[in-house]
Amino acid sequence: MEIKVRINETDMLGHINHASYFTYMEEARLDFLRGLGMDVKDENFMIVLASATCDFIQQGYFGQSLEVQTTVKKIGTTSFTLGNDILEKESNELIAQGEVTVVYFDKENQKPTPLPAELKEQLQAHISPHNETKSS
């Protein structure tokens, strides 16, 4: 997913504000999941964010075009972990790396529930070759 850095996403020095990276990862995550045909919520289930981290490798600036690449890092019983590489598009240099873990959540019972087999299969097709599927 390509993102053009907007002025409101920067600090007074023109650097991308740290919070903006989490927004970029969220946009890429939702785009990735929609590409799999998944709704992030329906009347019975939703996915909820359990963890989000980001390592800031180098500075990004207003006006840059970024590419956010999303891969599946791990698939569990009730959750999965996605990785994001945020690259400066022109140079292909790594700006930041993030990771999020999301849980498949039963709204009625208010607790995690096993991922549907179809979703697991779709995620497996996108797992990074450097990562293993978790079986529990």
User: pTM of the entire structure?
Assistant: 0.88
Provide the pLDDT for residue 129. 72
Give the pLDDT confidence of 43-69 residue by residue, as tens digits: 888 899 999 999 999 999 999 999 999
End-to-end CA distance of the chain: 31
Low-confidence ranges of the chain (pLDDT < 50): 133-136
Provide the pLDDT for residue 133. 45
Provide the pLDDT for residue 131. 58
Provide the pLDDT for residue 23. 96
Provide the pLDDT for residue 130. 66
Which residue reads 């599927």 in tokens?
Answer: 133
Cα 95 to the center of its chain, rounded Å: 15
